[in-house]
Structure formats: structure tokens, C-alpha cells
Amino acid sequence: MRLSINFWGFYYTSNIPEQWQGVFDCIFAAFFAILGVVLFSVGVSLTTRAAALNPAADFEALGRVCTITHIESSAKLIRVPEDHTTMPAYMKTHSLPGDRGNVRCDVNYKYSFTAGDGTAEYTSWIETKSQSGLCPPAPALLHLETFERGDVVDCWRIRDGKGKVADSYRCGNKPHCYKIFNPVQEIKDQKSDGTVFMIVGAVFFAVGLASLLCVRYWGFLLQLVTGWIRTDRRDD
């Protein structure tokens, strides 16, 4: 039997004996179910950790008193298979000559800033922005950054007496944890990401479980067990 599998853009063709078809079907179904459990667990972890935090109580808003002094940027070209059915539309707009895939440019930004009238510089957490197409010679040419040098922006600081700040807050300058990104919004985004992981995980698990419970797989297992019983009886 010749089997062709299309697994989100991954193609595999091989000669598989008829009696092993059920085995491979069960393996793929189990893979979906296990992957679903893993994704769901990651989502629960993200949501639980975010829900345990209270950014309004952990941080104080300083107002528009932080000044962007320097911006570091780096770019990375990401190749994405063109037949990836779940690929967002913005990733499909550019193809390399002679290449089978589409590309996008991921740019990382790290901001340096001062707070108030102080001269001490603090660094932010790395911000990642994406744009379809090739990366330019200099990442700064894309102008995807949220802030520009010289901007005076809102910022937040960990409240006095709070001690060590949770990693979920994404501080780039511990232990001070001055932030130019709203910690309340960051926690909301993490909760949203956790919910997405949980939904995707539940879908994967449901697909895998439904496949495992399919009559076709139960029939294969029944035939396998029956064959063992018959073999044992012949041996007797």
C-alpha cells in the first residue's frame, strides 16, 4: 500500500504494508492527543501565573517622565513554507526567487531610557515586531519600533517594598524594574496567549481522542487481540 500524508505542509510518501496501516494511524492519533495535552497545560500555566499577579498593586505609574535615549535593533529572516495552511496572510506576501517558501522579517528592539530628572539609564524588555518580505540592510529602515529616540513616554516602577518582581512582568532592568510598557496590558496579553494555547490544545486533544475512539482503530485493535488469542490456542 502506498501512503501519502499531508501534515501541515509536511509530505511523506512511503510503501507501508496493509497490516501496519492501523499502527501508524494510532501513532498519529496519539501524537495529536499528547500534543493537545501539552499545549493545554502550557495555556493553563500562563493563565494561572498571570491571574496570580496584580500589576496595579505591584507597580506605580510615574506618568510621562521617561525619555528614550537609545534604541538597539536586530533583524532575522524567517522562512515559512508556502503551503502552510495555517499561515497568517501577512506572511504570504513575498517569495524569494527560486525559493519554495515565503519570508518575513522579525525585528527585535531594545530601548534605553532615563526616568524623570535622573541620568541613570535603564533598558526595556525586548520588543519583537514582524513584517512580510526581506529584511533591509539595516533593521532601523523598517521603522516598526513603538518609540523613537527622544520620545518622552509613560513609564512605571515597581512599588517600594515589593522586593523581587515576578518574571511575568518582563523587566529589562532588575531589580529596579522601570518599565515603558504598561504592566497591566502585558498581563492581559499573557492571559490571552494562555487562552489561545488552551483552545488549540483542546482542539488537538479532541481530534486525537476522536481518532483513537474511531471504529476503524478499535477494529484494528480487536483484530490484533483476536490474532494473539488464536495464536495462543494453536500453540496449546
Indicate whether 65 and 148 sit together in one domain.
Answer: yes
The tens digit of pLDDT for each residue in 214-224 reads 645 455 555 55
Position 223, amino acid: Q
Joined grid coordinates for residue 127: 520588543
Within a domain: residue 15? no
Indicate whether 33 and 126 sit together in one domain.
Answer: no
Within a domain: residue 174? no
Within a domain: residue 113? yes
Among 216, 222, 146, 227, smallest CA distance to 180 is for 146
Indicate whether 34 and 58 sit together in one domain.
Answer: no
Indicate whether 117 and 208 sit together in one domain.
Answer: no
Residues 199-235, buried b or exposed e (16+ Cβ, 10 A)?
ebbeebbeebeebbeeeebeebeeeeeeeeeeeeeee
Instruction: Report yes or no: 171 and 122 within 8 Å, Cβ to Cβ.
Output: no
Indicate whether 152 and 77 sit together in one domain.
Answer: yes
Residues in the chain: 236
pLDDT of amino acid 236: 52
Indicate whether 84 and 47 sit together in one domain.
Answer: no
CA distance 58 to 19: 61
Indicate whether 113 and 84 sit together in one domain.
Answer: yes
Q: In the chain, which stretches have pLDDT less than 70?
A: 1-25, 81-101, 214-236
The tens digit of pLDDT for each residue in 179-205 reads 999 999 989 988 999 999 999 999 989
Partners of residue 213 on adjacent β-strands: none
Instruction: Report yes or no: 155 and 180 within 8 Å, Cβ to Cβ.
Output: yes
Range of the domain at 220: 21-53+184-236
Within a domain: residue 5? no
Within a domain: residue 102? yes
Q: What percent of the chain has pLDDT over 90?
A: 36
Q: First CA to last CA across the chain, in angstroms?
A: 34
Indicate whether 72 and 133 sit together in one domain.
Answer: yes
pTM for this model (two decimals): 0.64
- Crossing angle of helices 215-235 and 21-51, in 10° steps, is 130
pLDDT of amino acid 60: 92
Indicate whether 64 and 155 sit together in one domain.
Answer: yes
Q: Identify the domain boundary among 137, 165, 193.
A: 165
pLDDT of amino acid 211: 73
Indicate whether 142 and 191 sit together in one domain.
Answer: no
CA distance 162 to 184: 16
Indicate whether 63 and 156 sit together in one domain.
Answer: yes
Within a domain: residue 1? no
Within a domain: residue 171? no
Within a domain: residue 172? no
Q: Identify the domain boundary among 165, 195, 226.
A: 165
Domain count, the chain: 2
